């Protein structure tokens, strides 16, 4: 069983790497930062969005059609395969790529560089969102985080609230 498990991890990691690009996002883009799982920023703070595919589906189904969508896997997701965790499958990544707007970012690209380039920063409610605020960028979170009450944090839970956040951020030049 363990060898089969390791093969699946390698298959998933290789699929992501093969389909990732090594460039920074354009201005008109949203970057979704995935979380390692399990971790506290998805369970319990992410509520139902611990299922990150739910968050991504809301974004894919409601984001403006001209918005570029980038997904960045957590840099340590496949770093320690001997640990018992819930790694994502190649099927998970294939489902995301069915939307032609989706591109995977190389896991080794510095997150701060990505944050500086992208218009919209999104995560379930991880520390990358706090980093965005520290770098002067508003962020969208699905769930609750200790910094959720900051004016430039948009906590969303539906397509409607996501679109409201996009509109507000689009019309904002600097964080409040």
pLDDT, tens only, 99-157:
999 999 999 999 999 999 999 999 998 899 999 999 999 999 998 889 999 999 999 99
- What's the pLDDT score for residue 171? 86
Q: How far is CA 150 from CA 50, 119, 129, 141, in A?
A: 22, 18, 11, 12
Is residue 176 pLDDT above 60, yes or no? no
The region of weakest confidence among 2-16, 26-40, 129-143 is 26-40
Q: Is the pLDDT of residue 38 over 80?
A: no
Of the pLDDT bands very low, low, confident and very high (cuts 50, 70, 90), residue 37 is: confident
**Residues contacting residue 117 through CB under 8 Å, at least 6 positions apart:** 24, 25, 26, 27, 29
pLDDT at 50: 76
Q: How confident is the model at residue 83 (pLDDT cuts 50, 70, 90)?
A: low
User: What residues pair up with 153 in beta bridges, in sequence order?
Assistant: 139
What pTM was computed for the model? 0.91
Q: What is the mean pLDDT of residues 53-70?
A: 95
Say which DSSP state 48 is in.
G
Confidence of residue 19 (pLDDT cuts 50, 70, 90): very high
Which residues lie closer than 8 Å to 97 by C-beta, 6 or more apart?
Answer: 19, 104
Average pLDDT over residues 14-42: 89
Mean pLDDT on 50-75: 93
The pLDDT value recorded for residue 45 is: 73
The predicted model gives 18-40 an average pLDDT of 89
3-state secondary structure of 156: strand
């Amino acid at each position: 069983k363990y060898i089969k498990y390791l093969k699946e991890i390698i298959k998933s990691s290789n699929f992501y790497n093969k389909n990732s690009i090594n460039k920074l996002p354009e201005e008109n883009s949203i970057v979704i930062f995935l979380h390692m799982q399990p971790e506290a920023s998805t369970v319990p703070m992410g509520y139902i969005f611990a299922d990150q595919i739910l968050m991504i589906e809301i974004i894919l189904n409601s984001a403006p059609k001209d918005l570029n969508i980038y997904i960045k896997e957590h840099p340590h997701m496949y770093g320690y395969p001997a640990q018992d965790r819930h790694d994502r499958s190649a099927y998970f990544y294939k489902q995301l790529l069915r939307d032609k707007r989706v591109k995977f970012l190389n896991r080794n690209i510095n997150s701060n560089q990505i944050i500086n380039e992208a218009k919209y920063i999104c995560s379930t409610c991880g520390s990358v969102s706090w980093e965005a605020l520290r770098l002067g960028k508003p962020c969208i979170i699905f769930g609750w985080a200790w910094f959720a009450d900051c004016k430039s944090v948009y906590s969303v839970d539906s397509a409607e609230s996501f679109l409201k956040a996009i509109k507000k951020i689009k019309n904002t030049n600097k964080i409040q």
